[in-house]
Amino acid sequence: MPPAPKPYLGSGLPRSDCVTVAFMLDLVLAVAHHLLIFGVFGVLLAEFLALRGLTSSEAVARIAAVDLWYGVLATLVVIVGFSRAVFAAKGWSYYSHNAFFWAKLTTFAVIGLLSIRPTLAFVRWRRSGTVPDKAAIRPLQIYLHIELTLFVILLVFAAAMARGYGEF
């Protein structure tokens, strides 16, 4: 009978099991990250489209509720994304030396900063119970349009990074 495999790096698991766990963690984090990113994009698109029909205080309350999901999903994107960068297969050394990774993070941060003005407006409108006029809605449509455009650029950075471009 062959000897039992030695535990891998003090984990108590044989090397083959540790590799399987690492690959599964990588897969789970990647899938979660992608689903969350698409969720954030969907929320931004929903807000952009909802601004067109903002004609009642109920619609204002709905868009404010949708915007809350934007914050929740964006926070989860950051948590899962950094977990992926640190704990998944490629590891921090791959990501930290990639210009497209930093461009992607910067773009995501800019999108987040641009979302502050619409969020504050949605909260203000909900609290006051007023329906904004077109003059108040138009700047927010521009902000959301810029955010959606930056999201496309973010996806280009992500694709380039995943293929190894931008290493330094």
Helices 99-114/134-162 angle, 10° precision: 170
* Residue 64: both structure tokens together: 């404010």
Interval 101-119 mean pLDDT: 98
Would the pLDDT of 8 be above 80? no
Predicted TM-score (pTM) of this structure = 0.85
Residue 95 burial (C-beta neighbours within 10 Å; 0-12, 13-18, 19+): buried
- For residue 161, what are the contacts with CB-CB under 8 A and spacing of at least 6? 95, 98, 100, 101, 104
Q: What is the mean pLDDT of the chain?
A: 91
**166, 99 in Cβ contact below 8 A?**
yes
Reported as type and span, the H/E element at residue 145 is: helix 134-162
Per-residue pLDDT tens over the stretch 9-19: 555 556 566 56
**Phi, psi dihedral angles at 62 (to 5 degrees):** -65, -45
Q: How far apart are CA 66 and CA 62, in angstroms?
A: 6
Per-residue pLDDT tens over the stretch 56-89: 999 999 999 999 999 999 999 999 999 999 988 8
